[in-house]
Amino acid sequence: MRTLNLHQLATFQVVAKHCSYVRAAEELHFSQPAVSAQIRKLEEAMGIKLFEQIGRKTYLTQAGEELYHYSQKIFTVIDETMEIIEELRGPDHGRLRVGADTTVGTYVIPSLLGKFQKGYPDVEISLDVVNRAALVDRIMNNQIDMAIVGRVPDDIPVVIEPFAPNELVLVAAPYHRLAGQARVPIQALEKEHFLLRDIGSGTRAALEIALQEAEVPLHVSMHMGNNSAIKQGVAAGLGIALISRVALDMELETNRLVILDVEGFPIIRQWRIVHLKDKHLSAPSLAFKAFLLEHADRRLRRKEQ
């Protein structure tokens, strides 16, 4: 019976992910000939070609595609095995992989992770801060243990716990024509140009839904990748934006930005703690989830009941 070399299989996964020996060698910090040798040995052991070269491009064969699919399952089982072993050592050791959407991951979660780490100094912690769409992908691919995110698609099998409110407000420069006005009708936004986050952002989706429901056209001034860039753009008079209230403390205190009083705003959303239903949470992950729930907004939890 043929045996499978896990080192060769791990190398294969990286080559398959990039469909490139060069990029795989860079990621693995190996030489390209060393990577090629590992793949050649794996192909010899399997008795079948896993890659084919067409011109300058590398492609997976059908056998390679099947092996890539099952190798992901193999390493998932290995990771779960190691997590169970780590759990036997208790929550003071092991790994914690947390994901968070851009806003909560920048302005809320880091301070909580700092407090948690003081109680569990030997836990290896990583925080992945990305937009909502990328975060959902990481949850589904078991790349993180849990996430703190706003909206979650209905068709994915997850456990959801309410965590904290997310107040989305319209902001503008202090000299904007709507600044200081009370109860501005939402139709006044027809004349405005917006600075938007990237596609996949929960804040962007909330704005699009609000304007669509009010039958107000959305005029885009500029797309920007993060809250800091948007705040700078709004302050410079490039347009207005919808942004989370937790990201505005300094700008409001220094009067660089103002919140507009517009019908239908603020939009109240909430952040949630999310993990796969079938995910075996390690002891550090369970401890961190309990820690987060201790700090969760009690009003949200009452609303969910």
- Assign 3-class secondary structure to 197-248: CCCCCHHHHHHHHHHHHCCCCCEEEEECCCHHHHHHHHHCCCCEEEEEHHHC
Confidence at residue 304, expressed as pLDDT on a 0 to 100 scale: 46
Mean pLDDT by 10 residues, the chain (305 residues): 82 95 94 95 93 92 95 91 76 89 91 94 93 88 92 86 93 95 95 89 89 94 89 95 93 95 94 91 91 76 45
Confidence at residue 303, expressed as pLDDT on a 0 to 100 scale: 44
Which one, of 126, 117, 159, lies nearest residue 144 by Cα? 126
Fold of the CATH domain 6-77: Arc Repressor Mutant, subunit A (1.10.10)
Under 8 Å between Cβ of 42 and 107: no
Quick count: other Cβ atoms within 10 Å of Cβ 268?
Answer: 11
Greatest CA span in the chain, whole angstroms?
A: 78
Confidence at residue 305, expressed as pLDDT on a 0 to 100 scale: 43
Side-chain half-sphere of 95: how many Cα atoms within 13 Å? 14
Which CATH code for domain 87-164+270-304? 3.40.190.10
Under 8 Å between Cβ of 262 and 178: yes
Tell me whether the CATH fold assigned to 6-77 matches the one assigned to 87-164+270-304: no
Q: Does domain 166-269 have CATH number 3.20.20.60?
A: no
Confidence at residue 88, expressed as pLDDT on a 0 to 100 scale: 66
- Reduce the DSSP state of residue 55 to 3 states and report it: coil
- Reduce the DSSP state of residue 169 to 3 states and report it: strand
Query: Taking the domains of the chain in order of start, what are their residue ranges?
Result: 6-77, 87-164+270-304, 166-269
Q: Which residues pair with 14 in a beta bridge?
A: none
Confidence at residue 1, expressed as pLDDT on a 0 to 100 scale: 40
Query: 0.85 cut: is pTM over it?
Result: no
Confidence at residue 133, expressed as pLDDT on a 0 to 100 scale: 84
Structure tokens at 274: 């999310």
